[in-house]
């Protein structure tokens, strides 16, 4: 049975053995609250890397039981990211999470050639977001909205594979993947259309495991059956996509923020492609979003 709500994902994770999360520079209330909730729900065990005095102060102010965490002292933002990654490499964690440090510093720690989390020189990191919106009858898995600014063909293929793996973990046996462009027409002068057509052909040849891939598709025909019908688009993906591959970071970022700010959507997000799932949410995201993201990363952790 496929998961259609984020709360269902949380319940699934609870039924599995706990993973250990390591939070980098976890000095802020939102991060600590999200990790505290995840620990209290039995989703993960947790190590907080940051300034111990600050962490204890935040816990006291919000009535969080600080004994639920292991705290590793590191007051320097840059060093905290590196120390958190080192703990993962030492086998002391299964999931990495961004705390108060900036995204570029977080990613720098992951991408460090000597001490980072990359499995090989050709590995591709991509951001996967799961959106639960009242306007759609199932979860929308999409990317990349935060890491790769202008993905080339190979990066789009990696994004597609990461989303398919996520969909499988959510119980979607054959996810329907839409490779998006501004139009569903095959326009040779539009690179997004060309890339989408190539990826769709790879899907036709079975190069993606247990997935149905189609493109180019505009957003309306990917998600709305009526629009697909009006435009006489047929196929398994049209009007009922599970996954959306965006042509660039701007389109993806605007899509997910429009859903959360205007449509009341909730989401979970992580970075795939490293040796462990890496929780990457905005510093302004709610504790609930971060809690869902922790659950997603724990679900994907080996």
pLDDT in tens, 107-159: 999 999 999 999 988 889 999 999 999 989 999 999 999 999 999 999 999 99
CATH 3.40.50.10950 maps onto the chain at 6-121+274-300
DSSP-derived pairing of the beta strands 266-272 and 126-132: antiparallel
Residues 187-230 pLDDT 10s: 999 999 999 999 999 999 999 999 999 999 999 999 999 999 99
| Domain 6-121+274-300 -> CATH class | alpha beta
CATH 3.40.718.10 maps onto the chain at 126-262
Q: How many residues does the chain have?
A: 302
DSSP 8-state class, residue 18: P
What's the confidence (pLDDT) of residue 243?
A: 98
Q: Evaluate whether 211 touches 164 at the Cβ level (below 8 Å).
A: yes
Q: What is the DSSP string of 137-200?
A: SS-EEEE-SSS-SS--HHHHHHHHHHHHHHHHHTT-SS-EEEEE-S-SS--TT-HHHHHHHHHH
Strands of the chain (E only): list them.
19-24, 44-50, 70-73, 95-98, 126-132, 140-143, 176-180, 212-217, 243-245, 266-272, 278-279
Residues 287-299 pLDDT 10s: 788 889 999 999 9
The fold adopted by the segment(s) 126-262 is Isopropylmalate Dehydrogenase (3.40.718)
Rounded to whole angstroms, the Cα distance separating 212 from 177 reads: 6
């Amino acid at each position: 049975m496929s998961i259609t709500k984020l709360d269902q994902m949380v319940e699934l994770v609870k039924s599995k053995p706990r993973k250990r999360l390591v939070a980098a520079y976890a000095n802020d209330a939102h991060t600590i609250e999200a990790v505290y909730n995840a620990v209290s729900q039995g989703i993960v065990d947790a190590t907080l890397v940051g300034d111990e005095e600050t962490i204890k102060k935040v816990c006291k102010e919000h009535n969080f039981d600080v004994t639920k965490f292991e705290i590793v002292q590191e007051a320097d933002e840059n060093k905290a990211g590196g120390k958190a990654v080192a703990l993962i490499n030492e086998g002391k964690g299964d999931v990495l999470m961004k705390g108060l440090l900036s995204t570029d510093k977080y990613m720098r720690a992951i991408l460090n050639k000597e001490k980072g989390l990359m499995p090989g020189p050709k590995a591709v990191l991509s951001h996967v977001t799961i959106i639960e919106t009242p306007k759609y009858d199932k979860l929308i898995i999409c990317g990349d909205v935060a890491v790769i600014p202008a993905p080339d063909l190979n990066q789009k293929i990696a994004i597609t594979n990461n989303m398919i793996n996520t969909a499988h973990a959510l119980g979607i046996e054959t996810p329907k993947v839409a490779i998006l462009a501004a139009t569903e027409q095959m326009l040779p002068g539009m690179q997004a259309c060309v890339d989408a057509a190539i990826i769709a052909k790879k899907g036709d040849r079975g190069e993606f495991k247990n997935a149905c891939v189609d493109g180019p598709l505009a957003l309306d025909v990917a998600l709305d059956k009526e629009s697909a019908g009006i435009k006489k688009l047929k196929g398994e993906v049209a009007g009922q996509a599970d996954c959306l591959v965006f042509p660039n970071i701007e389109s993806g970022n605007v899509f997910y923020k429009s859903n959360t700010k205007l449509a009341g959507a909730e989401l979970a997000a992580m970075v795939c492609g490293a040796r462990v799932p890496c929780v990457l949410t905005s510093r302004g995201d709610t504790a609930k979003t971060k809690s869902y993201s922790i659950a997603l990363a724990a679900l994907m952790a080996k």
